[in-house]
Amino acid sequence: MEKIIRWLLFKVTVPLVPFLVKAMTMVAKGSSIGLDNISPKGELSLVCVAIAAEEVGSLFFESAEKNRLIKLFCGGLTIVLLIISCLWFPYISTDNSYDPSIVSYF
């Protein structure tokens, strides 16, 4: 239980603080809150990539040898998603022809 609390607090919540501050600012101004308003240029995907990359590293290098096949499958799938996200980010951040409300759902 201590590991989960430490993970949630330091590896998930702390990287999301800038987005929480932006959401609180939007509430104070009376604006609507949504992922398309909080992260319109895909910045949240960079935070997700950093969190996932760190966890894949700990999955492969810091954990025990049990459930090796499941770890290989989940870690490999996560790496594929990380690559897709990294390749997609430059398009999202520089191109204004997309609909931010659609991108925010991914």
The tens digit of pLDDT for each residue in 32-65 reads 888 778 887 778 888 888 888 888 888 888 767 7
CB atoms within 10 A of CB 33: 12
How far are the Cα atoms of 15, 31, 57, 67 from residue 48, in angstroms, in the given order?
A: 9, 25, 14, 25
Selection from 99, 97, 102, 11 nearest residue 55 by Cα: 11
Selection from 41, 38, 46, 7 nearest residue 21 by Cα: 38
Report the pLDDT averaged over residues 85-104: 73
- Token digits of residue 103: 């991108």
Q: What is the pTM of this model?
A: 0.68
- Token digits of residue 57: 């590293």
